[in-house]
Amino acid sequence: MDALQALVLTDAQLRMILSEAARQGAAIAVEALRAELHQSPDDMVLQKLRTYLTDPTSIANPADNWAHSGIIRQLQTAPGGKPKSAAWFMKFQRETGLHACFTRRSPAFGRRREWAFSDIKLAWNAYYGRR
């Protein structure tokens, strides 16, 4: 029979090891939550939409994800680093047919309209694919 190594700990040592492991785990969880809290909900949607536009397989059901005009205008910035203008967005809507797509009222902003990611992707590809 092979000899097994064993570690014998007192009750106090075991408690100390377990509490230190719990402390380190909690510190990691808190740091991850802080990183999420520093992002606004719009920033998270923008990041998700950008990812979806480059990799359509990144979201299982894009029709369940929505973005408003402010987010769409931030997808590509103007030369000064600012979001595209409202006039640009109006032109974008007309030329791509996005204005005719189904919209919903924004749960966060009331009157602001939102479009599904799938419709935004079709419009984006139509607008920038032809240039």
Could you tell me the sign of the dihedral formed by the alpha carbons of 123, 85, 76, 67, in that order?
negative
Q: Is 57 helix (H, G, I), strand (E, B) or coil?
A: helix
From first to last of its 131 residues, the chain has per-residue pLDDT tens of 688 888 899 999 999 999 999 999 999 999 888 877 777 888 889 999 999 999 999 999 999 999 999 999 999 988 888 999 999 999 999 999 999 999 999 887 778 999 999 999 999 999 998 54
